Chain A
């Protein structure tokens, strides 16, 4: 809503630190509305911070060991935390108590290194264990299951069959539509599973080899994906189109090498990357450098053929994690001391805004006086003209498209990702395919109208 008044310029990348949150966190993730950040801590606590007030508003106290990941449901009602204590917990932020009510607790067979919600239904959860196994956990009444996603033995391919040891899985993510699960392995492969049938549909070797894959991020439209691997290079790929799940034979999968469109690295210091994140429009890519002495974020301009754009310097505390805001030019980066830096793109104060009817110009303009500019007009005439200008009907209810609230916005983006994103085009015309229908069955109660209650901290009551 305020954008149209602030700046005529388009979206850019953040340039300066706006706030530092003393959160003792090991990572921080924005929620889909961009109002909150969820912070995971080493002591097993997860905290929810309100960025409007820059204060912690909820304390999720349930894990006994370090929190390894945190994910938000699409309207931010549910929060998923995974921990080294072998548990995955779903929290319901709509509950009025603090700590919020646990919605579900899932016990796994090993420490959990990451967990995420299905983008369309928060009752479907993807969990990666430190042992290198990935489980798809379905909490819905009619689908209740826990399925391991495993790579079939490669014997049908003969040649590779013997040599392909099953590598451990090092990263697991849903794509933006939720139809597929993308898994990176220690051998530099990307495995793609159908999340409904739980079968592998594709195995991609990264061209040239990449070493163990450490991280994976999708652009919001789902068409591009970036990997972070142990050879200190970030690679961007175009996500291939996969045939519809019903069209393929059960046991077959695509074996294909993926050629990156861009490679991003630091040619001088050869630093590794701790984290990588796309901007909401997919035009910028931020990489968090694993520099031991500095807090550095590298920004590349994807729309400009991946050219390096700038380095953000966040001071002395080395970077541990970063995440780009879902709709703004803002980044949350975490230092290894546990502080969360919120980056923004500051707007210069326009002092001209304080004077009514005053307009700032960037350069001198020769002013040409209109012929009738200082003529004395008939007051009745002025009044009549004013009246005329007020004839048009005004619309005080419709909220125009560009200024829809962020919640609505993310929902729209989700739909775009479905229809135009990683799909093979068979879905066009708005019809949902069976993978979508499957995910939408037993929908969760995470609806857009939900709002978090404000808790009054009693201990600070000055009464």
Chain B
């Protein structure tokens, strides 16, 4: 275990104005910390502004995925250094490091109760870890190439994975067996997810297609494709599963109504041509969409107007991994080789709410 290698640089970022988010109230200059190049912030209503709070360093190679636990207390990270690390989401402390994969890890996913974490890796394996014990409880073998993406269903009795063997696999978590192999795409599968009641699976791939599957029968129910057929790098259901949020490598994020096969929102402004950068919804009162970018920044859009709310600057390389906190206005981001840090950005409302009960 190399716990010691992970030290925290406690909220000492390059801007001096934001010394402690708790003490200074909302009054501070709203955009002094990050002068956004886009001029939309002059809205009369109360505005949400993110500011950097913690910088977590520990990973030796690029971080590929970040996931907050369902209760929001823990942040899990994984990377090309074959390690999974757990961090306290509110203090930034390192909690634990898991090792076991033989190649770099591409994605991780929490079970609904936060008891288990599934990870997928270039060693073609899927592993399930017990969070409390820090041990590996399952090794799922079956993929014939790199496994790239993973997600649990809401009951967490099923796991869905996709990879460079162009298949989507559904696993029985309890028994550790493959239930279904869907010959899903004709290019590496870049993202898979269940909807909120677990009856649908959505997958997307480098062939530019987004496909909806019936979990029970494994039948393909629908295929979405954009006119220009750009490479799809990430797909995610909206909280009510009526829409899917799709990131494509034409530097665009689209929100699709998959019933009518229509794109209902388009988010642009960031740069995404090469990497599979995920996009996330906020889970709080303010509705926004967050994504990383190849210009080293993190972009926050207003969900409805598609205007850029804020651009978070600080990372020194492509921001490859992104996640939003399940209950608060907190964004976690991580960048590639030249940076290797994970940053936690706290929205101002959440910084207020977080202070009374520190963990």
Contact = CB atoms under 8 A, between A and B. Distances in A.
A390 B197 contact: no
B338 interface: no
Contact of A396 (B153, B221, B238): B238
B158 interface: yes
Contacts, number: 154
A1 B112 contact: no
A157 interface: no
Interface stretch (A50-58, A78-86, A177-185, A260-268): A50-58
Contacts of A394: 238, 243, 255, 257, 264-265, 303-304
Interface string A420-463: 00000000000000000000000000000001111111001111
B198 interface: yes
Contact of A462 (B156, B157, B176): B176
B113 A453 contact: yes
A53 B153 CA distance: 12
B266 A386 contact: yes
A389 interface: yes
Among A54, A394, A403, residue most surrounded by chain B Cβ atoms (within 10 Å): A394
Interface in B219-269: 219-225, 238-243, 255, 257-259, 261-266
Contacts of A57: 157, 174
Interface in A380-412: 386, 389-390, 392-400, 403, 405-406
Given A52-B155, A457-B175, A396 B220 contact: no
Contacts of A142: none
Interface in A1-45: 1-2, 4-6, 35
Contacts of B304: 393-394
A397 B158 CA distance: 24
Contacts of B172: 53, 55
Given A5-B221, A390-B306, A405-B197, A396 B242 contact: yes
Contacts of B136: 463
Contacts of B243: 394, 396
Nearest to A348: B219
B196 interface: yes
Contact of B262 (A389, A396, A463): A389
Interface stretch (B23-31, B84-92, B208-216): B208-216
B198 A52 contact: yes
A454 B255 contact: no
B242 A454 contact: no
B199 interface: yes
B48 interface: no
Nearest to A407: B197
B128 A456 contact: yes
B66 to A, nearest CB: 21
B115 A453 contact: yes
A1 B195 contact: yes
Contacts of B222: 5, 353
Contact of B214 (A6, A357, A393): A6
Contacts of B32: none
Nearest to A382: B227
A355 interface: yes
A356 B225 contact: yes
Nearest to B199: A2
B116 to A, nearest CB: 7
B215 to A, nearest CB: 7
Contact of B173 (A35, A350, A454): A454
Among A353, A396, A398, A456, residue most surrounded by chain B Cβ atoms (within 10 Å): A396
Interface string B135-148: 01111010000000
A152 interface: no
Nearest to A57: B174
B111 interface: yes
Contacts of A52: 153, 155, 157-158, 198, 215-216
B281 interface: yes
B175 A53 contact: yes
A405 B194 CA distance: 14
Contact of B113 (A35, A54, A451, A463): A451
A20 to B, nearest CB: 16
A4 B241 CA distance: 12
A163 interface: no
Interface string B50-62: 0000000000000
A350 B219 CA distance: 8
Interface string B141-182: 100000000000101111000000000000011111001000
Among B176, B220, B221, B257, residue most surrounded by chain A Cβ atoms (within 10 Å): B221
A374 interface: no
Interface in A255-287: none
B351 interface: no
Interface of A: 1-2, 4-6, 35, 50, 52-55, 57, 346-347, 349-350, 353-358, 386, 389-390, 392-400, 403, 405-406, 451-457, 460-463
22 contacts: A5-B200, A6-B221, A35-B155, A349-B219, A353-B219, A354-B223, A356-B209, A386-B263, A389-B264, A390-B263, A394-B243, A394-B304, A396-B239, A396-B287, A451-B155, A451-B156, A454-B155, A454-B157, A454-B174, A455-B174, A461-B138, A462-B141
Given A1-B241, A53-B174, A395-B242, 13 more contacts: A1-B195, A2-B214, A2-B215, A353-B221, A356-B223, A357-B225, A394-B238, A394-B303, A396-B239, A397-B240, A454-B116, A456-B128, A456-B137
Q: Which 7 A/B pairs are nearest by Cβ-Cβ distance?
A: A356-B225, A396-B238, A2-B199, A53-B172, A5-B221, A356-B223, A353-B220
